[in-house]
């Protein structure tokens, strides 16, 4: 029997609805809207789509959206100056600089310049360190969204065997830290892992974030395991799909026959990322304004 489909789109809609209610309450208590500033450098088409979507959803949730679109040849000095200005702006609670940046700009310098208290992407070394030692901070949006989907599906994760495929700072490493904090036994697998199929096969939870189309096969999956597919890859165009088909890092057709539950691509993890970004922004707003808030409600 095929496994259950984890509907990330529906979960994200519910999360945004809760955010909208909390954002309206924040505005009453603080006398202003929670604010998210998004900075886009250059004309990357995919980045433009993301930024437009983030701005639209920010406003729909009752928060203020501040967009800064800079030319491709903007200097690193000017970009850092803008970030410092946003750090000092009391109307801005969260700052997101859309990646990737043009080659002449050092991404690490940019991330390091964002105030950790406004780093709603969770990439700053201070927030990474806080996550690793179990202190409150901001967690990268995609892994936090994955954790929300897992807990919604499984309840307690304590004692479960989890394998995270991929070791990036954006998904793999923070995902492993989050699962450790939930008392999972965690293995971080990657391109150098020996006998990867066998490592994956023992896992109750598989999080695939490696960036290789349909790499994880159904035969790798332990029967009944929960599979979270973070990957988004566009296959070459075919006559049936002239734009190219979007697929994840998991071979969905074979994996759904074995897994207990699985996220689809698209419609799984993807919608969670922006929803969690809005959640992080609202949390930042409450902290910055000194307004009491039960963060677990989101």
Provide the token pair at 230. Answer: 């973070």
As a whole number of angstroms, the longest Cα–Cα distance in the chain is: 57
Which of 103, 52, 107 is CA-nearest to residue 73?
Answer: 103
The answer to whether 68 touches 99, Cβ cutoff 8 Å, is no
Tell the burial category of 186 from Cβ atoms under 10 Å away from its Cβ (0-12, 13-18, 19+). buried
The answer to whether 209 touches 216, Cβ cutoff 8 Å, is no
The answer to whether 204 touches 159, Cβ cutoff 8 Å, is no
d(CA 1, CA 176): 30
DSSP 46-67: HHHHHHHHHHHHHHHTT-EEEE
Q: Is 54 a catalytic residue?
A: yes
Residue 213 is classified by DSSP as T
Catalytic-labelled residue, pool 33, 57, 98, 173: 98
The answer to whether 116 touches 273, Cβ cutoff 8 Å, is no
d(CA 73, CA 88): 25
Q: Is 121 a catalytic residue?
A: yes
Catalytic-labelled residue, pool 33, 54, 118, 222: 54
Catalytic-labelled residue, pool 119, 121, 229, 249: 121
Strands 35-41 and 94-97: parallel
Question: Could you report how far apart the first and last alpha carbons of the chain are, in Å?
Answer: 33
Which of 153, 200, 205, 202 is CA-nearest to residue 179?
Answer: 205
Question: Which residues are designated catalytic?
Answer: 54, 98, 121
């Amino acid at each position: 029997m095929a496994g259950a489909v984890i509907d990330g789109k529906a979960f994200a809609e519910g999360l945004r609805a809760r955010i909208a209610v909390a954002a309206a309450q924040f505005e009453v208590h603080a006398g202003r809207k929670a604010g998210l500033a998004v900075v886009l450098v250059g004309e990357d088409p995919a980045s433009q789509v993301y930024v437009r979507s983030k701005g639209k959803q920010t406003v729909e949730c009752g928060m203020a959206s501040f967009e800064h679109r800079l030319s491709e040849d903007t200097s690193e000095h000017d970009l850092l100056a803008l970030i410092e200005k946003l750090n000092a702006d009391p109307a801005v609670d969260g700052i997101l600089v859309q990646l990737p940046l043009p080659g002449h700009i050092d991404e690490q310098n940019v991330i390091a310049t964002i105030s950790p208290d406004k780093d709603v992407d969770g990439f700053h070394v201070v927030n990474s360190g806080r996550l690793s030692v179990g202190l409150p901070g901001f967690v990268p949006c995609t892994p936090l969204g994955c954790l929300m989907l897992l807990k919604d599906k499984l309840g307690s994760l304590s004692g479960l065997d989890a394998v995270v495929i991929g070791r990036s700072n954006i998904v793999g490493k923070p995902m492993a830290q989050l699962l450790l904090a939930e008392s999972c036994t965690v293995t971080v697998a990657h391109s150098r892992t020996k006998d990867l199929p066998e490592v994956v096969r023992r896992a109750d939870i598989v999080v695939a974030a490696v960036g290789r189309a349909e790499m994880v096969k159904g035969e790798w999956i332990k029967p009944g395991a929960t599979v979270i597919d973070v990957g988004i890859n566009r296959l070459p165009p075919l006559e049936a799909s002239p734009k190219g088909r979007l697929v994840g890092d998991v071979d969905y057709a074979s994996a759904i026959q074995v897994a207990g539950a699985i996220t689809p691509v698209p419609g799984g993890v993807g919608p969670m990322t922006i929803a969690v970004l809005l959640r992080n922004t609202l949390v930042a707003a409450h902290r910055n304004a000194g307004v009491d808030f039960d963060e677990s409600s989101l």
